[in-house]
Amino acid sequence: MPFHTQDGTAVPAVTAEQMREVDRIAVEEFGLGILQMMENAGRNLALNALDMLGQTGGQVTVLAGAGGNGGGGLCCARHLHNRGLVVWPVLDRDATALTGAARDQLRILQAAGLQVADPSQVKEAICRSQVVVDALIGYSLRGMPRGRAAELIELCNQHAVRVLSLDVPSGLNATTGEAPGSVIRPERTLTLALPKAGLHSVPGELFLADIGIPPEVYGRLGLSFEPFFGQQYWIRLVVK
């Protein structure tokens, strides 16, 4: 249990397999909706991006994959757009290949008038942005990043001024902390629900976001802990 809040409260970590089971229990047994949890994740991610931008504001590029991580990133893009920021949504595949909740989040963005950046615009978007949000892969990594996702990771590492990763830096194994290939190097990571075990040596600051999962869900996996969010929806974690 290497993770603690700033006041010293211990926070248990989970493996990728445990987090998949948490998500399954939350949806199938407790009735939480994927879009409901994704909205909480995306809003908290947008608040973190705004916190990094400070009073000066600026432009944000959101790198999004096809899964839940990408959907959270696209939701974040909407919240930033709602606050008047210039947002560049970037996908690691053709928009027609998105399914499920990520596709739904993209449709909302498109209805609001935001269009996915053309591949020829991506380098420029990253260079012009004060913050790049990494929502490409998350805890679902299988082997090393490949194809367009790997290209976007490299572009981000080469040209981004500041990077905010959602849940797990893309390319990092959420359980072991190993990087089998290209991996994002974030200034800040906002992990969701509980920290992932592999984040023990992640660079930069680490924060934890509440996405609305009741503690009884974790109890089904034998995880018991005192509430640690207090009156906040995201908190800073330290590794001890």
Binned at pLDDT 50, 70 and 90, residue 140 comes out as confident
Q: What is the mean pLDDT of the chain?
A: 95
Amino acid 1: pLDDT: 58
User: Tokens standing for 216?
Assistant: 């009884």
Binned at pLDDT 50, 70 and 90, residue 56 comes out as confident
Q: Return d(Cα 3, Cα 14) in angstroms, integer.
A: 11
Instruction: Please provide the DSSP assignment of 20-35 as one string.
Output: HHHHHHHHHTT---HH
Question: Which residues does 187 contact at the CB level (< 8 Å), separation at least 6?
Answer: 52, 162, 163, 164, 203, 204, 205
SS3 readout for 73-123: HHHHHHHHHHCCCEEEEEECCCHHHCCHHHHHHHHHHHHCCCCCCCHHHHH
**Which residues, in sequence order, are bridge partners of residue 87?**
60
Percent of the chain with pLDDT over 90: 92
Amino acid 57: pLDDT: 83
Amino acid 55: pLDDT: 81
Whether the CB-CB separation of 81 and 114 falls below 8 Å is answered with: yes
pTM greater than the 0.85 cutoff: yes
User: Tokens standing for 67?
Assistant: 């899964």
Sheet with strand 3-5: strands edge to edge:
10-11, 3-5, 234-239, 205-209, 188-192, 163-166, 131-135, 59-64, 86-91
DSSP state of 203: S
The structural domains of the chain, ordered by start, are 3-239 (3.40.50.10260)
Binned at pLDDT 50, 70 and 90, residue 191 comes out as very high
User: Tokens standing for 47?
Assistant: 């608040």
pLDDT of 200 strictly over 80: yes
What sign does the dihedral 175-145-140-205 (CA atoms) show? positive
**Average pLDDT of span 29-56:** 96
pLDDT tens per residue, range 69-125: 999 999 999 999 999 999 999 999 999 999 999 999 999 999 999 999 999 999 999
Q: Return d(Cα 152, Cα 144) in angstroms, integer.
A: 13
**Average pLDDT of span 32-37:** 95
**Average pLDDT of span 206-226:** 95
Q: Return d(Cα 3, Cα 238) in angstroms, integer.
A: 6
> Which of 26-30, 47-51, 105-109, 136-140 shows the lowest mean pLDDT across its residues?
136-140
